[in-house]
Chain A
Amino acid sequence: MDDLIADFVAECREMLEALGGEIVAWEVQPDDRARLDSIFRFVHTVKGNCGFFEFPRLEALSHAAEDALADCRAGRRTPDGALVSAVLAVIDRISEMVSAIEAGEDMPTGDDNHLIDALAPGAEGATAPVVAAAEAATRASAAPRTIRLSVELLDRVMSTVSDMVLARNELARRLRESTSDVPVDGAFERLSSIIAEMRDAITRTRMQRIENLFVGLPRMVRDLSAELNKQVLVDIEGGDVELDREMIEMIRDPLTHIIRNAVDHGIEKPAERLKAGKREIGLLAVSARQSGNQILIDIHDDGRGIDGKKLVEKAIANGVLTKDEAAQLSPRDQLALIFEAGLSTAKEVTAISGRGVGMDVVRSNVERIGGIVEVDSKPGEGTRMTLRVPLTLTIIPALTVSIAGQHFAIPRSAIEEIVRANGESVTLEHLGGAGVATIRGRRVPEISLASVLGLESQVGEQDRTLVVLRPAGGDVYALSVDRIHDHEELVVKPAAPAVMATGLYAGTTLADDGSPILLFDPAGIAAVGGVKLEVQERAARIAEGPASSISKATPVLLFRGLDGGRRALRLAVVDRIEEVSSSAVKKTAGQLRVQLGEAILPLAGATASDIGDGKVRLFRLNDGVQEIGYAFAEVIDFATVDRDIIHAERPGEISGVSLVSNEPAELVDAHWLFANNAAAAAPKKEQLVCLIPDWDPWMQNMLRPMVEAAGYRVIDDAENEKADVVIACLGEELPDNASHKTIWLRAEPEVANTKDFSIYRYDRAGLLTALKTVGAGRGK
């Protein structure tokens, strides 16, 4: 609203300025028809605008003046000096009020009736209040410093800046070619950054909030729904998204059309809605958001939706489709039929949105500005139309690639990722001549740019680079190119019709070296390359199924045990593989153990009888703290367990069986191994003992948990046990069984004398350090 008022004020000001001379001329010559007309136009415009804004005083004034002037124009009245003065007084008052509105002040108080009365025929001439005009002039000087420019002028500046960028690029190339000269390079860098800044600023001057487009929608929907006896609630979001001014004008008509369609054909009458179990009031949500260098405008209604089957029937009846073609349509293609000329599922023709002529126009209008319209609908639940339009028409970040020595550009917004054809996790296959790339388990159709363009590539298929593209609104495909070059911001200009007719290109641009580059249209390449987007989407989903479970699959080490069993161990627990002579394996203390260097580890996976002469190979398993050995005969392979595991009925060395590399294998339960072998192996660490007086509640409640957390076993003096450390308060007597280690605590933070080694009892860090020192001393 503020924007509109600002526009109104600006318009009034402009007209007032233009009128300045007219008024004086009219005063001299009251019967001058041309002057009369221009003054009439002014008051008429003011009247029309202020009715909209609720400025009743302005409206009354301008209305009265308009009436009087209309009489003159119709010849019912001859303008005389009195009328001229009266009209001038009114104009002055209007100018005064406009200034007040502009400054955001309240209307100047005062009664306008004498001004209005003075307009009546035969009335005494009112004198224009000179003071007010002077006041208005001082106010105007405080107004924000803005000027109104024509868009054509801005366009000219914009295109000049574009050319400047191109000239800069060429200069950059020449500088690179010549020997480098530091001062010149520095000056050039500065020039570059100034040009970039300028381009930024000029781009922004062309930006406008999309609110300007949305502000009229509620009214339009209200009028429409009243006419159709429907109830519609409009929900508008994202009005602050900024868009190129021209772009806003370009999407105004398509947007209006889509909304009219939604209200007319989408949203049902209240009774119908109630019957369908919906709220009486239909909801129409319009939202805008920015996504990369695109603006997405969603128009979503909760009406009856579009029936794809009906569309197909209609299309067949109208001869747009043959039956065979229709049978092959995906649900998405079926819905897309609404963009075909002459199709509509609405039973009756209405004045609002016509006979389905229109959606085809909507699409062609949006596509003309490089946008896309998408439709998604569920019968009975509603329809969502999405307009995707580029942010600006001119500058596009792009990736340059080459094929057969020729350079092309791909809009960066469409690029999902770039992989090497011979890279890891990428495989290229040919099915009936069509390329299929598998990228990390995802199958995407592959198009060779060389074959689409009919060029001979010198680069072998495996050495090419795959650019994974997702055209706006479409599905991914991989485009194989010879080489990737550079990311560049390109000033794109539309290409000649003969070039656009190929369907492959979105425009042309000049590279840094001054040579022309063609910018690809990713959706166009897909179409020309014969990628079927919907079919592909399903295939991609199928491929994604197993792929996602692979990522969850556990890597295992597949091996043959000493008894010949095919087993698998989780790779993570296997530290390394060792080979020892069989003499290192001994049964001691009731368990088979293996000596590895200085360490003796329990050995699992074997019995004493399995150990023959010669070498024994074993895995060294590690759970992070302890180690055990696991004997085996041979390693088969690294593999992954991605199938269901049949779990063993009883816990034991084998946790279950699964197909690994298409053969069953027993999965060794590492947890069980450690639980049954390692516990015995690890020497039990003796806990340090700390004595804390049991009669001191503070020590028992506050200190004890901390000491225990530090790894001590806490005893009190009732137990007759030697403690490693005693904690006592200053001034207390030590119990008999105290060791020589004592930590004294004091109640005061400050040290009483320098020989005092006590620790303040809330000095947590100091306490812990003291406890650790004790532990370390004991360790030795």
Chain B
Amino acid sequence: MNELLLVVTIGNERVALPAAAVESVVELESLIPVPRAAPHVAGLSALRSRVLTVIDCMRSLELGDTDCSDGIREAAVVELDGHHYALIVDLVEDVVEAASDPVPVRAAMGAGWERVSQGMVETEQGPLLLIDVAALVAGVEAKAAA
């Protein structure tokens, strides 16, 4: 078991994204809002003639807003069902190797974290929460509808 994990910080919390799902890490410059879209959709951005749908992870996790006003944001680009998404994170730290299979977290987490959690994985940097990218992209409303 040596799955690679991308360690990012969202809302002062260090979490892991499956590195295989992440195409690249980019710095978003411009952000075009999408009026009327779900709140966690921060907008659209362009990357090499591709349109990225930008997901505000803070809102998707019900942790509040990411302040996008200060310009450049770091984001992890993932592809889901043929669409490209940019997940806005506070910081992209490192790539680490998973030392264990994900195991359920038995303690109570916040509702937002609970929804996107794939379990806890052991790494050399200690236990990290593995994030389900699809759930993160789907946001609050999709979960409620399903």
Contacts and interface: CB of A to CB of B under 8 A. Distances in A.
A454 B137 contact: no
Main secondary structure of the interface of A (DSSP, over half): mixed
A142 interface: no
Given A515-B32, A518-B44, A498 B49 contact: no
Interface residues of A, number: 29
B36 A496 contact: no
B46 A499 contact: no
Nearest to A501: B38
Contacts of B41: 496, 498-499
A19 B52 CA distance: 48
Contacts of B33: 406
A455 B35 contact: yes
Contact of B44 (A167, A170, A501, A516): A516
Contacts of B137: 496, 498
A203 B35 CA distance: 33
A493 B51 contact: yes
A454 B39 CA distance: 13
Interface stretch (A347-355, A503-511, A682-690, A694-702): A503-511
B139 A498 contact: yes
B34 interface: yes
B46 A515 contact: yes
Interface string B83-121: 101000000000000000000000000000000000000
Given A454-B36, A501-B37, A495 B46 contact: no
Given A508-B44, A516-B45, A518-B44, A495 B36 contact: no
A226 B34 CA distance: 54
Contacts of B49: 163, 166-167, 170, 510, 514
Interface string B45-67: 11001011101000000000000
A170 B49 CA distance: 9
A238 B36 CA distance: 41
B34 A528 contact: no
Contacts of A517: 32
B36 A509 contact: no
Given A497-B83, A510-B46, A453 B36 contact: yes
A496 B53 contact: yes
B86 to A, nearest CB: 11
A125 B79 CA distance: 62
Contacts of B83: 494-497
Interface in A477-536: 493-499, 501-502, 504-505, 508-510, 514-518, 528
B34 A515 contact: no
Nearest to A408: B35
B34 A518 contact: yes
Considering residues B30, B45, B81, B83, which has the most beta carbons from chain A within 10 angstroms of its beta carbon? Answer: B83
A139 to B, nearest CB: 45
A498 to B, nearest CB: 5
B59 to A, nearest CB: 12
A493 B46 CA distance: 13
Contacts of A502: 34-37
A170 B47 CA distance: 12
Contacts of B55: 498
Nearest to A169: B49
Contacts of B138: 498
Nearest to A404: B35
A454 B33 CA distance: 12
Interface string B106-146: 00000000000000000000000000000001110010000
Nearest to A504: B36
29 contacts: A170-B49, A406-B33, A406-B35, A452-B36, A453-B35, A454-B35, A495-B51, A496-B53, A496-B83, A497-B83, A498-B38, A498-B53, A498-B138, A498-B139, A499-B37, A501-B38, A502-B37, A505-B34, A509-B51, A510-B46, A510-B49, A510-B51, A514-B49, A515-B30, A516-B44, A516-B52, A517-B32, A518-B34, A528-B36
Q: Which 4 A-B pairs have the closest CB atoms?
A: A453-B35, A496-B53, A516-B44, A166-B49
Interface of B: 30, 32-38, 40-41, 44-46, 49, 51-53, 55, 81-83, 85, 137-139, 142
